[in-house]
Structure 1
Amino acid sequence: MTLIEWKEHKGFCLSHDEPAVGESERERFITNGLACLPWDAYTPDLANGGSELMGIGGEVATLSMPCNKKLSKSEKRELRQSKKINAQKKRQMKRQVELDKYGDEVEASFKPYLAKQEIKHIYTNVILHTTDTGKNFLSKGEDFKVLQYHSIALYKSDLEHLLPGEWLNDNDISFVYELIIQLFIKSDQCRDFANQIQLLFPSLVQLLQHFPADDIENLLPMDDLIKSRFLFLPISFIDKPSVEIDMEDANNGDHWALGVLSLLDNKLFVYDSMKVDNDINGDTQLQALCKRLESCSKLVKGKIKVVHMNCDQQKNFDDCGVFVIMFTCYFIGQFLFHDEISMDIGKVQFNPLDARLYIMKLIAKLTNRSNGK
């Protein structure tokens, strides 16, 4: 098992110590990945706006409207629905506490139906109350920008991909990556050497996979990358890689997986939530990606070894992109807030529906701030 340790005057280094007693017996726990990062602590200006950033068991945000504005019939119906969901959730939590034989308060178990309702509710709230211009586009059935966050413009169509049952697109993953970069990696509050971690957007990884190999170094932000020790790569696998790729299409690919390239020992750790044994096609694409990375002599010194890691597996065909985000957030939380990091996540169980809800709440907070609410 590969262990990494953070040293105050060096940054991230390979650890040569044996795992602590009981490390291999670590209990399985459930997370949505995003909750491993202290979002509220690093976004104090968002602490009172929008939905609370709660994990499993969080409460639905009620529709926020100016007190002097008369509600329309649809808005009244939406408000009643959110109150009904909150009341139902409170009753369930109360029953859970009463049933606990020790009388201790315990968190109510995760309710998928309520989570799906909450996601749809927040989505509707964000779309309807973004801007007056947005309402005009909505009435015409057109796409429109919901939020601009640094380099990422988030559109209504991107939010639709966050709804349950939908397949995340490039922009959804890029948005969360941009949040992590701006709020944590570039934050003055964060630990030194945070810039040794680099998150590459899916569009850039796609170029790495399919652009002519001779020009790869010219594509990459080499000044930043040569300082790094870990690269996070959202890898898009294609079932038929021999088919010519349209580089203008942002959402090529059939499946997402996360690659974490450790430049400390030239290993590409691959976390695939739909792992297939003896996947010749997938292995071929990974080897091709490694060769392209190896051609960046300023960045990679030597041959890269692909290491397939055990990780939680998705239970449907829609959540691969969500798993990439959950894995990434879990690891970033480890790298930035722990001194000892294990690349083994085999005993961590992830909740993709709760992750969709968490991301939607983040978007609601940011849109509320940008709209001055």
Structure 2
Amino acid sequence: MKRMASQGDMVLSFHDSLLRTSDVDTLVPGNWLNDNIIAFAFEYFEKVQFKLHEKDVSFISPDVTQFIKLNCGDELGIFLEPLCLTSKKYIFLVVNDESSAARAGGSHWSLLMFSRPENTFYHHDSCNKSNTKSAKVVAMSIEIFLRATRKVQFKNEESPQQENTCDCGMYAICNTELLCKKHLDEDEVDLINTITPEYVTKKRQEMVNLIHKLASTSK
């Protein structure tokens, strides 16, 4: 699927991610992350940070998740087949609250994680479970393609809560990274006490630094 159009000079081309200045600008504190930045973060997790676990984990970009939420039937099956979801232990999806295919945007991101060992969808929402309806739609749409041996459960997890209206995308990214460290790297992780507003602000700058580092090494 085509991601949301962005403007400005190209900053980085990283596998399937193309970031422009307008995308990177959304990482400035006080800005709402667009889907290009979240897709880049997921691609970096897949291609670099958690590459050793690529057989066990799938990171599904926001545009694909939105397609899953708004479509069903044979078309969706053809679209999802190349993702090999039946072999993945963990699947991460960032869910947008936009319900219309006619417009892009939305106002909130949350994280949906499928855990095959626990046969459960875990929903991590940094805004008081406000995106539960959209997350459940995604879970219901994708469940049949997981080929689980029994009905998959859905659980709203206790999650770190944002203190503003713009950090939801960063919370979704931070939750994803720490959950991967917990389930893939077997690190001890405490989401609630780790992902604070200060942690999220620091992570924004770390991502800016990472993007510019990758851009400089790719020239």
Instruction: Answer yes or no: same fold by TM over 0.5.
Output: yes
Kindly indicate whether the alpha-carbon contact (under 8 Å) linking 1:335 and 1:341 is maintained by their aligned counterparts in 2. no
Aligned to 1:257: 110
Structure 1 residue runs of 4 or more that deviate by more than 4 Å after TM superposition: none
Q: Deviations over 1:209-258 (max 9, x none)?
A: 002334221111446322201100101123xx3xx422xx5x43221011
Distance 1:194 1:150, change over 3 A: closer
Aligned to 1:333: 181
Shift of 1:295: 2.9
Aligned 1:25-104 pairs, distance under 5 A? none
Structure 1: gaps of 5 or more residues? 1-141
Aligned 1:106-255 pairs, distance under 5 A? 143-186=8-51, 190=52, 193-222=53-82, 224-238=84-98, 241=99, 244-246=100-102, 251-255=104-108
Structure 2: gaps of 5 or more residues? 1-6
Shift of 1:362: 0.3
Name the SS of the counterpart of 2:172 in structure 1.
helix
> For 1:303 and 1:222, how far apart are their aligned partners in 2?
23
TM-score with structure 2 setting the length: 0.86
Distance 1:370 1:285, change over 3 A: closer
Aligned pairs, number: 211
> For 2:58 and 2:91, how far apart are their aligned partners in 1?
5
**One-letter amino acid of the structure 2 residue matched with residue 245 of structure 1:** A
> For 2:65 and 2:96, how far apart are their aligned partners in 1?
8
Shift of 1:289: 2.0
1:348 counterpart = 2:194: yes
> For 1:222 and 1:263, how far apart are their aligned partners in 2?
19
Kindly indicate whether the alpha-carbon contact (under 8 Å) linking 2:96 and 2:134 is maintained by their aligned counterparts in 1. no
Shift of 1:199: 0.6
> For 1:260 and 1:335, how far apart are their aligned partners in 2?
11
**One-letter amino acid of the structure 2 residue matched with residue 175 of structure 1:** F
Shift of 1:153: 0.7
> For 1:337 and 1:291, how far apart are their aligned partners in 2?
28
Name the SS of the counterpart of 2:177 in structure 1.
helix
Name the SS of the counterpart of 2:58 in structure 1.
strand
Kindly indicate whether the alpha-carbon contact (under 8 Å) linking 2:112 and 2:135 is maintained by their aligned counterparts in 1. no
TM-score with structure 1 setting the length: 0.52
> For 1:299 and 1:341, how far apart are their aligned partners in 2?
30
> For 2:113 and 2:78, how far apart are their aligned partners in 1?
21
> For 1:357 and 1:319, how far apart are their aligned partners in 2?
13
- RMSD, matched Cα: 2.2
Where relative contact order (Cα < 8 A, 6+ residues apart) is larger, the structure is 1
Picking from 212, 216, 219, the partner of 1:368 is 216
**One-letter amino acid of the structure 1 residue matched with residue 69 of structure 2:** Q
Shift of 1:334: 2.3
Q: Deviations over 1:135-156 (max 9, x none)?
A: xxxxxxx622111011111111
**One-letter amino acid of the structure 2 residue matched with residue 345 of structure 1:** L
Distance 1:182 1:164, change over 3 A: same
Q: Deviations over 1:184-224 (max 9, x none)?
A: 333xxx3xx54211111111100000023342211114463
**One-letter amino acid of the structure 2 residue matched with residue 356 of structure 1:** R
Deviates more, 1:144-153 or 1:329-338: 329-338
Name the SS of the counterpart of 2:192 in structure 1.
coil
Picking from 288, 301, 313, the partner of 2:161 is 313
